[in-house]
Amino acid sequence: MPLFPALRCPTVQLSNGLEIPILGLGTSHHGGYSHDAIVYALTECGIRHLDTAKRYGCEEKLGKAIKESGLQQSELWLSNKLWPGDYGYKAAQKACLDSCTAMGVEYFDLYLMHWPESLKPGCSNREIRAETWKALEDLYKKGICRAIGVSNFLVHHLEQLKEDCSVVPHVNQVEYHPFQQPKHLMEYCRKNGIVFEGYSPLAKGQVLNDPVVQQIAKKHGRTTAQICLRWSIQNGVVTIPKSIKKNRIQENCQVFGFQLDEKDMVALGNLHDGRHVSWDPTNVD
């Protein structure tokens, strides 16, 4: 894998040739926001990939932190997401441009439809997804989004999109940690050239006290968080842990100097119990 500068973070290639850093920093609204932690992640830890969403309510703040870091946009990978309240062709285009303005940027490296369900009455989810996706395709063609994707989409949502639209999503961002391993979906994404990105990689902290993870952490002289992140990375999954604490952000970046062995990977692979710590799109038609 090629190396992304700064953290010497490996990248994963999208079907259009772009390289997404395999480790990024999450910024969701759960658990608060810290300006100093974001600036620290960028200037001291070498983080170059930030994941956000209009829904998280921190676009302006992130724009301020990026400015303070002194980094140019070209040195960063910025992912943002379109909330279902903004689905539909015109609304989606406007929301994307408004998000760019809020963050003080000209473009996003990756722009995702956040959730497969529409909040708009009178149209089927499938119709709204297709109409919205066409807006993203046009934003992609104009270069306002360098890559476009979806989040929380299951195989049936992706199959419908393939029938209705022309650009196959570059990325699908889905919940992924040792307790939640959607192997069938991952295999579908691999076969269709869709990069699989995992969110809530620490299961919002739930996985950190698991005895199997603790034992592997002890064996490698690492923390349980580092074991989970390393496991995602060794599975080729783009991972975006969130912390608002500087020492934890630093800790979460120290995941490239060691290797889990086959036994560790199997033991972690066996922890799947199907639980969701975020939301579950199973019943979205």
Ligand X SMILES: NC(=O)c1ccc[n+]([C@@H]2O[C@H](COP(=O)([O-])OP(=O)(O)OC[C@H]3O[C@@H](n4cnc5c(N)ncnc54)[C@H](OP(=O)(O)O)[C@@H]3O)[C@@H](O)[C@H]2O)c1
Which positions make up the binding site for substrate? 114
Residues 138 and 97: their CA atoms lie apart, in Å, by 12
Residue 109 contacts ligand X per CB under 6 A: no
Residues 30 and 86: their CA atoms lie apart, in Å, by 21
Rounded to an integer, what is the distance from CA 29 to the centroid of its chain? 15
> Do the beta carbons of residue 201 and residue 228 sit within 8 Å?
yes
Residue list, annotated binding site? 114
Per CB under 6 A, the segment of 128-136, 138-146, 240-248, 257-265 that binds ligand X is: 240-248
Residue 200 contacts ligand X per CB under 6 A: yes
Residue 51 contacts ligand X per CB under 6 A: yes
Shortest spacing between CB 258 and ligand X, in angstroms? 15
| Cβ atoms < 10 Å from Cβ of 51 | 26
> In this chain, which of 130, 155, 208, 284 binds ligand X, going by CB under 6 A?
208
Is 140 marked active-site? Answer: no
Residues 6+ apart with CB under 8 A from 197: 20, 149, 171, 172, 173, 174, 176, 237, 238, 239, 240
Residues in the chain: 285
The interaxial angle of helices 35-43 and 59-69, nearest 10 deg, is: 40
Residue 204 contacts ligand X per CB under 6 A: yes
Per CB under 6 A, the segment of 118-126, 138-146, 230-238, 247-255 that binds ligand X is: 247-255
Beta strands in 110-159 (DSSP E): 110-113, 148-151
Residue 28 contacts ligand X per CB under 6 A: yes
> In this chain, which of 90, 245, 263, 276 binds ligand X, going by CB under 6 A?
245
Residue 225 contacts ligand X per CB under 6 A: yes
> CB-wise, 70 or 279, nearer to ligand X?
279
Helix/strand/coil for 146: coil
> In this chain, which of 11, 27, 93, 180 binds ligand X, going by CB under 6 A?
27
**Catalytic one of 40, 56, 111, 199:** 56
Residues 250 and 37: their CA atoms lie apart, in Å, by 10
> CB-wise, 17 or 221, nearer to ligand X?
221
Per CB under 6 A, the segment of 138-146, 154-162, 198-206, 265-273 that binds ligand X is: 198-206
* Distances in whole angstroms, Cα of residue 259 to Cα of each of 143, 229, 263: 37, 11, 11
Residue nearest to ligand X (CB): 26
Residue 203 contacts ligand X per CB under 6 A: yes
Q: Which residue has 């992912």 as its token pair?
A: 79
Q: Which residue has 């934890």 as its token pair?
A: 248
DSSP code, position 60: H
Q: What residue type is 196 in one-letter code?
A: F
Rounded to an integer, what is the distance from CA 170 to the centroid of its chain? 12
> In this chain, which of 10, 31, 104, 236 binds ligand X, going by CB under 6 A?
31
Per CB under 6 A, the segment of 66-74, 96-104, 183-191, 248-256 that binds ligand X is: 248-256
Shortest spacing between CB 30 and ligand X, in angstroms? 6
Residues 157-196 that bind ligand X (CB under 6 A): 173
Q: Which of 136, 119, 39 is nearest to 85 (CA)?
A: 119
Instruction: Write out the residues near ligand X by the rule CB under 6 A.
Output: 26-28, 30-31, 51, 114, 151-152, 173, 199-205, 208, 223, 225, 240-245, 248, 251-252, 278
Residues belonging to the active site: 56
